[in-house]
Amino acid sequence: MNQSPKHIVVAAAVVLNEDNGILLLNGPKRGWEIPGGRVEEGESITSAVIRETKEETGIDIEIIRFCGIFQNVKEAVISNLFLARGIGGEFRTSSESFELGYFNMDEALSKVNWNSIREQIVHCVNQKDSFLVEFNH
């Protein structure tokens, strides 16, 4: 009997403040990154990105638009990316975030060590149409 495919569905956001600074968190797994995480069973993708951002940073967001999908084919991870703006809340660290801050584009990209996260930020901020990026590593 064939097993059904199992994928990890993630929702993440490039969150901008009024000065177009990008919200980053410094966490234990990947260092500096954008907020996001797994979509839970019975949860919508948009609800997940709002929840994950609040849990990891303390910031409430409003989604501006859906940016696109990054798919890690080898790891079976599908990351749904949104552009959002911070609309309230206060910085609050968690077990997933040791440091938080808004950074201009150059500073944000220099802080992020993972190429795929840097690409996600650039795609969300610069592209007007949605995208699909597939990679195999």
Asked if residue 118 is part of any domain, the answer here is yes
Cα angle 21-133-109, degrees, rounded to a multiple of 5: 30
If you ran DSSP here, which 8-state letter would residue 74 be given?
T
- Residue pLDDT, tens place only, 62-102: 999 999 999 999 999 999 999 999 999 999 999 999 999 99
Asked if residue 1 is part of any domain, the answer here is no
Asked if residue 56 is part of any domain, the answer here is yes
Look at residue 26 and tell me whether its pLDDT is greater than 60. yes
Asked if residue 3 is part of any domain, the answer here is no
Asked if residue 2 is part of any domain, the answer here is no
Asked if residue 97 is part of any domain, the answer here is yes
Asked if residue 107 is part of any domain, the answer here is yes
Asked if residue 74 is part of any domain, the answer here is yes
Phi and psi at residue 100, to the nearest 5°: -140, 155
Q: Pairing state of beta strands 31-33 and 99-103?
A: unpaired
- Residue pLDDT, tens place only, 100-126: 999 999 999 999 999 999 999 999 999
- Using an 8 Å Cβ cutoff, are 75 and 8 in contact? yes
What total of structural domains would you count in the chain?
1
Average pLDDT over the chain, rounded to whole?
A: 94
The active-site residue, picked from 40, 43, 99, 107, is: 99
Phi and psi at residue 27, to the nearest 5°: -115, 175
Establish whether 33 is a catalytic residue.
Answer: no
- Using an 8 Å Cβ cutoff, are 44 and 115 in contact? no
CATH classification at residue 119 = 3.90.79.10
- Using an 8 Å Cβ cutoff, are 68 and 32 in contact? no
Cα angle 32-47-37, degrees, rounded to a multiple of 5: 30
Domain range for 129 is 8-135
